[in-house]
Amino acid sequence: MSIQEHVNTVKETIAAAARAAGRDPGEITLCAATKVQTDDTIRQAIAAGIAVCGENRVQELTAHLAAGAYAGAQVHFIGHLQTNKVKQVVGKAALIHSVDSQRLLQAIDSQAGKLGLVQDILLEVNIAGEESKGGCSPQEGARRLLEECGVSLVMVTLGPRGCYLQNRRGSCALTAPQVSPVDTTGAGDIFGGSALHRLLDFRVPPEELDRGGLEEIARFSVTAASLSTQHPGGIPSIPELAQVVARMGEPAPLSL
């Protein structure tokens, strides 16, 4: 199979999954990992339609950039980044995927400030609490976003464990109703959409919600997402408002 054929197959698979979830395939970003690949292989992948390359070694990122291998595509840094190598990545990578510590976040912010640019990042959160995996806890990740990034409200979906919400006034964590899922396609999207729907009902800024408001949004969102898993497919599984309201008494408070 040629690189072009591989790229076409992956894109077709993504498009089919997106349509099944009721989403526009154009909303999905395919990031091709280029670890240990040659400059020529990367160029072939870009010519085949790859628009984002993901590099996880700073040395390889630097070498490929010097060779112009990423021409015509964005490059993301997807590996663990050490603070002493931040200068080699900030401003070079369009997105840094693995910010897992306060120290690294500050180093990136400092270097971006020196260069006069805004560096896009993804904050790594260990929602399962597994010691073998990196990333901060949901609570720590929320605190950083609220205190350092000017965010008004943080909502973290924990899948079958429920969700965690936090603003500057307080926090709330709830479990989801105990169900046997048929299809979890689109459940995360339904969680987010339901939270926004309920938030707008309050008609107050997100940062002004008290714990009762946070709990109401959490309860509504996890219930809607849970109900959506009881039927196959993304769009058909969106529950009616009356269904959500009728089931809202089932989630119970959870201490994370």
Whether 23 and 189 have beta carbons less than 8 Å apart is answered as yes
Pairing label, strands 171-174, 163-166: antiparallel
* Measured distance CA(151)–CA(132) in Å, rounded: 29
**Cβ neighbourhood burial of 247 (10 Å; 0-12, 13-18, 19+):** middle
For 162-188, what is each residue's pLDDT tens digit?
Answer: 888 898 888 888 877 776 777 777 777
> How many CB atoms are closer than 10 A to CB 2?
9
pLDDT at 68: 97
Identify the CA nearest to 57 among candidates 89, 25, 26, 30. Answer: 89
Q: What is the mean pLDDT of residues 223-239?
A: 69
pLDDT over 70 at 252, yes or no = no
pLDDT at 251: 46
For 76-110, what is each residue's pLDDT tens digit?
Answer: 999 999 999 999 999 999 999 988 887 898 899 99
Confidence of residue 37 (pLDDT cuts 50, 70, 90): very high
Please state the pTM of the whole predicted model.
0.66
Which runs of E-coded beta strand occur in 100-253?
Answer: 120-123, 154-157, 163-166, 171-174
Q: What is the mean pLDDT of the chain?
A: 84
pLDDT at 197: 82
Confidence of residue 232 (pLDDT cuts 50, 70, 90): low
Radius of gyration of the chain (CA): 21
For 192-202, what is each residue's pLDDT tens digit?
Answer: 888 888 888 88
* Measured distance CA(237)–CA(145) in Å, rounded: 32
* Measured distance CA(225)–CA(239) in Å, rounded: 8
For 113-137, what is each residue's pLDDT tens digit?
Answer: 999 999 999 888 777 677 777 777 7
Q: Tell how far CA 219 is from the center of its chain.
A: 21
